[in-house]
Amino acid sequence: MRSRNSKQLPEDKQIFRYWVEILEVKTGAKRELPLNGVRKIYFPRKKDDPRKPDEDVLQLKDGPETLEARNLDELAAQLCERYPDEAYERRLFEVRDHDAEKRHADAMDGLITILAEAAVESYLRSEEP
C-alpha cells in the first residue's frame, strides 16, 4: 500500500491537534485539556418531525466534565469563569499531527483497496456462465 507524504498534503487535508494549557499561577502546576471539534447531527425521532440543522461545536475535556462552546470566544468565556485571571493563565496550543495524517491516508488507501477488490470480485461473478 502506498502512503502519502504528509508534507505534501494540501492545507485542507492537514490534521492538527489542539489543547488548552491551564497554569496555576501560585503553584506553577500545569494541566493540558484536549480540545476537539465535533459536528452534531440531529436525526428526527419520528417520521414527521422536522430535521434540525447540524451543529459544529468545540468540546474541551476537563477531567470528568466536558465543556461545549460554539466558538473560541464562548469557550474562552467559560474558561475565564472556571479559571479566573487572578489565579490562572490559559493558553491555546495547536500542532500539526503528522501521525494522524499518515493513519488517515493509510485508512483511505485500505478502504480503496477493499472497494476495488469487491468491485472486481462482483464483476467476475457476474461474468460467470
CB 47 within 8 A of CB 61: no
- Residues 81, 82, 88, 92, CA torsion sign: negative
**Chain segment 64-98, per-residue pLDDT in tens:** 999 999 999 999 999 999 999 999 999 999 999 88
Distance CA 122, CA 52 (A): 39
What is the predicted pLDDT for the residue at 105?
84
What is the predicted pLDDT for the residue at 6?
44
What is the predicted pLDDT for the residue at 60?
96
Model's pTM, two decimal places? 0.66
What is the predicted pLDDT for the residue at 21?
97
SS (H, E, C) 33-77: EEEEEEEECCCCCCCCCCCCCCEEEEEEEECCEEEEECCHHHHHH
Residue numbers in the chain where pLDDT is lower than 70: 1-7, 129
Distance CA 67, CA 85 (A): 18
